[in-house]
């Protein structure tokens, strides 16, 4: 009995230590991600920034989801609130505000951006509000798996620059390294969302940034 009790205590202590080490590693990884995001933001320009001249090509992007519920009232009478347009995604806002996002129908869709300048691309940053900011405590409409394509012209199918996973429990802004195409210069980028975190009706994009070097 004593041996079994001792083994049980050892197992419990070992498990608790493992949990502690896992949490410490997760915290360290989160700090590294934050430092990486800040380093990229400080050192590399964002070629998908509206104020620099980047444009969303709405005619070849997914259609905007039409929200059914009213968002404003006048003298107690509900008024339909127009949805955010896809240009919202490239505003480059540092602080993401709940509801200020572009939504498209379903769990998969795409957004095509004409970059401000032709560039070689190295990183992208995808942003969404956190669970703590959400009124429901859920961000089911956030992208889950997504891919990025570089396009030299609007007629080509695009070159796959990477497929990524947006962590719903991670930071708001998450940065991802692209596959190396050092000699390739792109004028357009396509963001393809393959899935979201469970919302059956629509998916939301708050912020998307494209980093690299001027060609």
Instruction: Please choose, from the candidates 137, 143, 138, 154, the residue with its C-alpha nearest in 3D space to the C-alpha of residue 208.
Output: 143
| Cα–Cα dist 138/202, whole Å | 14
- Give tens-digit pLDDT for 47-89: 999 999 999 999 999 999 986 554 555 555 554 556 789 999 9
Contact of 57 with 155, CB cutoff 8 Å:
no
Whether 196 contacts 179, CB under 8 Å = no
pLDDT at 28 over 90: no
Q: Is the pLDDT of residue 125 over 90?
A: yes
CA dihedral 126, 57, 81, 102 (to 10 degrees): -10
Mean of the per-residue pLDDT values of the chain? 85
pLDDT at 18: 74
**Residue 101 confidence class, pLDDT cut points 50, 70, 90:** very high
pLDDT (mean) for 101-126: 96
Q: Residue 31 belongs to what H/E stretch?
A: helix 2-43
In this predicted structure, the answer to whether residue 145 has a pLDDT above a threshold of 80 is yes
CB atoms within 10 A of CB 204: 25
* Model pLDDT, residue 183: 77
The residue among 18 and 100 whose pLDDT is bigger is 100
What secondary structure does DSSP assign to 106-124, as a single string? Answer: SS-EEEEEEEEEEEEEEEE
pTM > 0.85: yes or no: no
Is residue 139 scored above 70 in pLDDT?
A: yes
CA distance 72 to 93: 24
Q: Across the chain, where does the E strand assignment appear?
A: 55-56, 72-74, 77-79, 102-105, 109-127, 143-151, 159-165, 173-177, 186-196, 202-205, 207-214
Any idea how long the chain is?
215
pLDDT band at 38 (very low <50, low <70, confident <90, very high): low
Question: To 10 degrees, the CA torsion angle through 195, 198, 201, 205?
Answer: -60
């Amino acid at each position: 009995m004593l041996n079994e009790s001792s083994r049980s205590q050892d197992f419990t202590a070992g498990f608790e230590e493992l949990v502690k080490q896992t949490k410490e590693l997760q915290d360290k990884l989160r700090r590294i991600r934050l430092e990486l995001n800040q380093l990229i933001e400080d050192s590399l320009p964002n070629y998908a920034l509206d104020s620099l001249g980047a444009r969303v090509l709405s005619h070849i992007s997914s259609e905007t989801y039409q929200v059914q519920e009213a968002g404003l009232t006048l003298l107690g009478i509900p008024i339909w609130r127009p949805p955010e347009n896809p240009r919202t995604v490239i505003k480059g806002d540092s602080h993401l505000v709940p509801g200020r996002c572009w939504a498209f129908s379903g769990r998969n869709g795409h957004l095509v951006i004409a970059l401000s300048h032709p560039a070689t691309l190295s990183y992208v940053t995808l942003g969404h509000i956190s669970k703590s900011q959400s009124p429901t405590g859920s961000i089911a409409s956030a992208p889950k798996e997504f891919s990025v394509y570089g396009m030299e012209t609007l007629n080509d199918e695009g070159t796959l620059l990477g497929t990524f996973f947006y962590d719903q429990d991670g930071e708001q802004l998450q940065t991802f390294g692209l596959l190396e195409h050092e000699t390739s210069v792109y004028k357009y980028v396509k963001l393809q969302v393959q899935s979201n975190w469970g919302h059956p009706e629509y998916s939301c994009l708050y912020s998307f940034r494209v980093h690299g070097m001027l060609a």
